[in-house]
Structure 1
Amino acid sequence: MTSPSAPQPAPASEPAASPAPPPGCPAHTGGGALRLYGPEHAADPKATFEALRARGSVAPVEIAPGVEASLVLGYQSALEVLRSPERFSKDPRNWKALADGSVPADSPVVPMMMYRPNALWSDGEAHARYRGVITDSLSQVDPNALRGYVEESADILIDRIGARGNADLLGEYGALLPLLVFNRLFGCPADIGDKLVVGMSGIFDADADADKANQILTEGLAELVALKRREPGADVTSWMMAHPAKLGDEEMLHQLALLMGAGTEPEQNLICNALLLLLSDDRFAGDLAGGSMPVDEALDEVLWADPPIANYAVHYALQDTEVDGVEVVAGRPLLVSFTAANTDPALSGERRSGNRAHLSWSAGPHTCPAKSPARLISAVAVEKLLDRLPDIELDCEVDQLEWRQGPFHRALVALPVVYPPITVTAPAAADEPSGVTEWKTEPAPASPTPAPAPSSSTPQAATSTPREPVSVNAAPRRWWNFLGGSRRGR
């Protein structure tokens, strides 16, 4: 898999010397490092990155109380780390402070950084073996079937909120849709799926409950592995188990933890961050003829400027070395800031539309193996919502939105919206339970791949719901209003 082609750096210039952040800086620890956690950083991470850039393309940070790391901020520096497995290992057993007890095992960031025998935390032959299982199994998923799963899941969730006229798009849509799709693709019953999403979201927050969340996640994954050993089906979990690599139960559990982590929490953040951009940015306020950017370009903008995983890709230098002239100490966590690297001032050009050279999918041997299905899920989820609720608006000012704290993700606490209620022609949403457990996975088909579902161009049956004919929205109609109208023949 090829790595992205980098945008051309702007002509080099000698930067002016910048002072270290003053003690009053909200992200200052008092010990030289800046915090990547807490309410101040969550509210304005760009201020943290700007202060860190004054120290070079690699700078010291604190990712949890008493847990120090280095953060890669430059685009080219990030590529150097991501593409140099001979110098930088992914194996957390190289983390000296964790090994010697300086970082306690119950630190809130440990569940997101601890060694697990999976493709993310392995090097060399072990990495190739685990990654082969994942890529071979994911390749069996039919894209048309996946699109159908997303559309069906989206309709279920929109039917629940459509008649109400207001919703939290994160809690009632963005957070649930990836879970429903994951459950379907991986043959996961809803009760186990509930445990997985609670556990995974908890360890991403990296707070005091992270260890408990990790236990819940492990318990749910163990149940899924045991279930699929007994009852294999036409799903990704069963295909992984049947792979010639013959993964054991513990190895299966940890590959699933990786896929769960990559397929739910970041996906919900990509969906919701894209929806926020569409609902708040003036570039998206016109109609199609006016040149507004479609959903695909909004996703590009989010992946460049506000990616769902802001800082991660943890590496460990195998020996003391330098990156762009900055010393990197062996055995100290080295995180890549995808947000800072993507917004590196050295990158020339402002237009990001159609440019996929961002690092939000990582690069090098650990490039995300599922970026195509991940992008499909988010695009269909956003398009479906805007089609069904074409006059949707934010229910607060952008600066009133709250962001979840933690060093790794860029995630909203809630995304409140209002819209003219729609008439739901499917069974009344009020009659359905509000929990995720209403979703039931169907018995696995006998064929080796899921039966293809209709594409987006295929007319939908009873799940399609027209909105009420009278709109009270007097503001200029956004491009998705016209898109929705054209799909319904208006």
Structure 2
Amino acid sequence: MNAQPLNGPDTPSGCPVAHGDADLTRLFGAEAATDPVGIYERLRKEHGSVAPVLLEGDVPAWLVLGYRDNRRVLDNPRQFSRDARIWRDWREGRVSETHPLIPMVGWRPDCVSQDGEPHRRLRRAVTDGLLEASGRGVRRHATHFANKLIDAFADTGRADLVADYAEQLPMLVLTRILGLPASDGLRMVESCAQVFKGGEDALEHNDRIIQILGELAERKRAEPGSDFATALLQHPAELDHEEVVSHLRLVLIAAHTTTSNLLARVLQLVLTDSARLSGLVGGQLNISSVVEEVMWDTPPLSVLPGRFAASDLELGGHHIQEGELLILGLAAGNLDPDVRPDSAVDVQGNQSHLAFSSGPHECPGQNIGQSIIEIGVDLLLHRLPGLRLAVPVEELSSTASTWESRLDRLPVEFSV
């Protein structure tokens, strides 16, 4: 394909006007970084449960805001394909292979980019590999690395639980599961973040991840081990080298980003609510119930890429054309007033949130992430007496990209 730049002669003002409106809401930039929920609510009032938006580079998409419409898209791959090769703006050259959206939206030889039997073949390899890897001691790895991280600041009486803990713990556990040295994993923390953030550096960081994981696959082919990489290489589905590396990348980026974000949000909720904190410390409250609440209110991925209309269809009162991109508003759907008119209603025990997606592409590694979070929170609360916020609650801030909203920092103090 001969890709053309986005600012071509047929796209006035650099915007491919797929929705008949050149003044669409952009899901990037200063407003989107600081008030994504406000944008979702404004779009819901203006357009209903589905809204036309622009992504980075003024690439058009449909943002699905309604809970039921999200379910429809996620549960119906025949109508809403995961195969980006049918993406009209890519096919027609308005999005090049070097566009910053490609690492998140573009086609790759992995299970999330396929439907039907190709998806089932690759998904089996991933689920079997994760089951085998998780059976070899995820909770033990999480305990080991959580203690190691806490040891580094336990004598200081202060820490930033985002930078010093939540950003590192999931990656360290994942390096053990995948078969990577811990040093390689920590180098990729920044790269995973940049892939989600987008911008000029997204492709460079994506290439760095691919290089490290490609070297891992070659190493494990020569020297097999008890890890996810070896499980993929030896699976009866007979994945080729590119498929193995793509699935290592998929698990690494998705699992680290979602788990680290969710861990930070759970800690934020616990440390800003004395009743929850005392309930967890005293054993009257279960960590899993707090995690469920966070997955409803601040899911680790705010927006999920991407689905593509397999034919012309209607969704949320809008006409969607074949090949157009849809992105799933998980955070907006969880707060949809049609299914949750009062966001303050107790959601403990209710697992029907959208945080893990739904349908055939539902997250296969959610139990691993939850185990890491449960261990991580429990050890912090019991190893650091008097754990408390070191700043007023109103000083806590978040920065959003198109796909997620991340807590910037979580300064704490505790007794030594």
TM-score of the two chains, using structure 2 as the length reference: 0.89
1:264 counterpart letter in structure 2: H
Question: Which residue of the partner structure matches residue 417 of structure 1?
Answer: 412
Q: Are residue 173 (structure 1) and residue 165 (structure 2) matched? A: yes
The residue that corresponds to 1:392 in the other structure is 387
Q: Alpha-carbon deviation of 1:291?
A: 10
1:56 and 1:226, CA in 2 relative to 1: closer, same or farther beyond 3 A?
A: same
Residues 45-54 or 282-291, more deviating: 282-291
1:214-363 → structure 2 map (5 Å cutoff): 214-281=206-273, 283-284=275-276, 286-287=278-279, 293-348=285-340, 350-363=345-358
Inter-partner Cα distance in structure 2 for 1:378 and 1:393: 18
Describe the superposition over 1:411-469 as per-residue Cα deviations: whole angstroms up to 9, x where unpaired: 12222222223xxxxxxxxxxxxxxxxxxxxxxxxxxxxxxxxxxxxxxxxxxxxxxxx
The offset of 1:288, in angstroms, is 6.4
Q: Decide which of 46, 50, 73 is 2:37's aligned counterpart.
A: 46
The Cα shift of 1:328 comes to 1.7
Between structures 1 and 2, the one with greater helix share: 2
Flag the 1:234–1:144 CA change in 2: closer, same or farther, 3 A.
closer
How far is the alpha carbon of 1:170 from its aligned partner?
A: 1.2
Query: Aligned to 2:133, what secondary structure does the other structure show?
Result: coil
CA distance in 2, matches of 1:134, 1:113: 20
Q: Distance in 1 between matches of 2:184 and 2:202?
A: 19
3-state secondary structure, aligned to 2:400? coil
| Contact map agreement 2:50 2:65 (CA 8 A) in 1 | yes
1:366-386 Cα offsets, whole Å, 9 max, x none, are: 111111222111111111111
- Answering whether residue 48 of structure 2 is matched by residue 56 of structure 1, we say yes
Partner in structure 2 of residue 443 of structure 1: none
Distance 1:347 1:173 in 2: 35
Separation (CA, whole Å) in 1 of partners of 2:286 and 2:26: 36
Q: Percent identity?
A: 35
Q: CA deviation at 1:201?
A: 1.6
Q: Is the 8 A contact 1:38 1:405 kept in 2?
A: no
1:37·1:406 contact (CA, 8 Å) conserved in 2?
Answer: yes
Cα distance in structure 2, aligned partners of 1:279 and 1:65: 38
Q: Distance in 2 between matches of 1:288 and 1:398?
A: 20
Report if the CA contact (8 A) 1:193-1:220 is conserved. no
Q: In the TM superposition, what is the alpha-carbon distance from 1:216 to its structure 2 partner?
A: 0.8
* 1:408 aligned onto 2:411: no
Hey, what does 2:8 align to over in structure 1?
A: none
Q: How has the CA–CA distance of structure 1 residues 379 and 39 changed in structure 2, closer, same or farther, with 3 Å as cutoff?
A: farther
Distance 1:268 1:142, change over 3 A: closer
Deviation digits for residues 251-283 of structure 1 (CA, Å, limit 9, x no counterpart): 100011111122111110010011011111355
Structure 1 residues 131-146: aligned runs within 5 Å: 131-143=123-135, 145-146=137-138
Aligned equivalents of 1:287, 1:117: Cα separation in 2: 46
Aligned residue type for 1:395: A
Distance (whole Å) between structure 1 residues aligned to residue 281 and residue 267 of structure 2? 21
Q: Which runs of 5+ in 1 are unaligned?
A: 1-29, 422-490
Aligned counterpart, 2:91: 99
Distance 1:114 1:414, change over 3 A: same
Counterpart-to-counterpart distance in 2, 1:35 and 1:321:
24
1:375 alignment counterpart: 370
Deviation at 1:191, TM superposition (A): 3.6
SS in 2 for 1:331: coil
**1:173, distance to aligned residue in structure 2 (A):** 0.7
- How far off is 1:292 after superposition? 6.9
Distance 1:336 1:123 in 2: 17
For residues 113-153 of structure 1, the C-alpha deviation after alignment (integer angstroms, 9 at most, x for no partner) is 11110011111111011100011111223557211110111
Query: In structure 2, the residue corresponding to 1:102 is in which secondary structure?
Result: coil
Find the partner of 2:176 among 162, 181, 184. 184
Secondary structure, aligned partner of 1:404: strand
Q: Which residue is 1:35 aligned to?
A: 26
- Range moving further from structure 2, 243-252 or 142-151: 142-151
SS at match of 1:140: helix
Uncovered stretches (5+) of structure 2, i.e. residues with no partner: 1-20
Q: What are the Cα deviations for residues 226-260 of structure 1, in whole angstroms up to 9, with x where unaligned?
A: 11111111111111111111111111000111111
Per the normalisation by structure 1, the TM-score is 0.76
Could you tell me how far 1:37 is from its partner in structure 2?
Answer: 2.2
Tell me if 1:203 matches 2:195. Answer: yes
Deviations 1:53-95 (A, max 9, x none): 1111110112213122111011110111011111111011111
Runs ≥4 in structure 1, deviation > 4 angstroms? 285-293
8 Å Cα contact 1:143-1:373 kept in structure 2: no
What letter is aligned with 1:215?
D
Residue 479 of structure 1: aligned partner = none
AA aligned to 2:192 is M
Tell me how many residue pairs correspond in the alignment: 392
